[in-house]
Structure 1
Amino acid sequence: MSGAGAPKVTVDGSGLRVVVIAASWHEQVMDGLLAGARRALRESGADWTEVRVPGSFELPVAASRAAAGGADAVVALGVVIRGGTPHFEYVCSAATTGLTDVSVRTGVPVGFGLLTCDDEAQALDRAGLEGSSEDKGAEAVEAAVATAVTLRDLTLAPVLH
């Protein structure tokens, strides 16, 4: 299981502005990812806004706009399920590379909640729904908020000589 050994990340995200960007494909899986993200955001104390985009391919451009608009962290949620064409590889690669680029280019952490699954059962098992073994929506929020807090603390840290 990919989630084995994952740490439970808990930080105080009070004062942070988080933008959650969610794709619209695979409604049941996305409902679970969003529910987990919302729960983790409430627990963190961060303020957040949600926006929807058509699919996972559109996540990077929306993340870029959110980062440029003053978000302290962005959470990208989506799901791509393998089919019989190379479309899966193209979308997964473009979305992953694009989200990484946004984070590195802007210095705004992007929580990676993009599920790349071989079938719907794998996606449902990671969606944080009742009976799921993982909650990738919550994990993406926890990672983004913890990183934003770390970056804020690095900015405020005194220089040691």
Structure 2
Amino acid sequence: MSGHGSPTTEIPHQPGTRVAIVAASWHEQVMDGLLAGALRGVAEAGIEQPTVVRAPGSFELPVIADALARDHDAVVALGVVIRGGTPHFEYVCAAATDGLSRVALDHGVPIGFGLLTCDDEKQALDRAGLPDSIEDKGYEAAAAALTTAHVIAGLAADRAGATPGS
């Protein structure tokens, strides 16, 4: 399973962090699990009021994440694409992945990557953070975004306290 070897770090407590979650609408059961996991991760960080937005599908995640990254410290992007019999899977996965990477780099805002790219529905359900799932990718995406935001804030604080020439 792909979760083997994943880190076990705690999400830093950061109640002042402005976080948004954008979640696709396709595959409702999987998405409900991913969203619940992300919200649990955000709550563990002490954030009570995250912005939650639904996207029509995974292809639309980057454009909504881009809008959210303008006034949030971290964005968690959640979606699922399940392989079918056409190249649609490859196009949507590549566009969403490339778009989310671009948003992070263009804005300097961490994007928690919670886009499941699965061969079948069972793989998606196994990763959705549901009671019978073996992984919780929504929680992991939130943890990654919030931990990265904490690191970036620390780097900014270090730079602000640095003396010229250091």
Same fold? TM cut 0.5: yes
Per the alignment, residue 48 of structure 1 pairs with 50
Superposition pairs for residues 1-161 of structure 1, below 5 Å? 1-10=1-10, 11-46=12-47, 47-68=49-70, 70-157=71-158, 158-159=161-162, 161=166
SS of the residue corresponding to residue 41 of structure 2 reads helix
Structure whose alpha-carbon radius of gyration is higher: 2
Aligned length: 160
Q: Structure 2: 5+ residue runs without aligned partners?
A: none
Which residue type is aligned with residue 154 of structure 1? L
Residue identity in the other structure for 1:4: H
C-alpha distance in 2, partners of 1:9/1:86? 37
Distance in 2 separating the partners of 1:91 and 1:57: 6
Over aligned residue pairs, what C-alpha RMSD do you find?
A: 0.9
Q: List per-residue Cα deviations over 1:2-32 (Å, max 9, x = no partner).
A: 1011112321122001000000000000010
CA contact (8 A) 1:9 1:143 kept: no
Q: Distance in 1 between matches of 2:139 and 2:23?
A: 13
Shift of residue 152, structure 1, vs aligned partner: 0.6
Letter in 2 for 1:61: V
Alpha-carbon distance in 2 for matches of 1:8, 1:97: 27
Return the TM-score normalized by structure 1: 0.97
Q: Percent identity?
A: 62
TM-score, structure 2 as length reference: 0.94
- Whole-Å Cα distance in 1 between the matches of residues 143 and 131 of structure 2? 20
CA shift at 1:76, angstroms?
A: 0.2
AA matched with 2:125: L
Runs of 5+ in structure 1 lacking a partner?
A: none
In the aligned structure 1, how far is the partner of 2:5 from the partner of 2:132?
19
Give the partner amino acid of 1:127: A
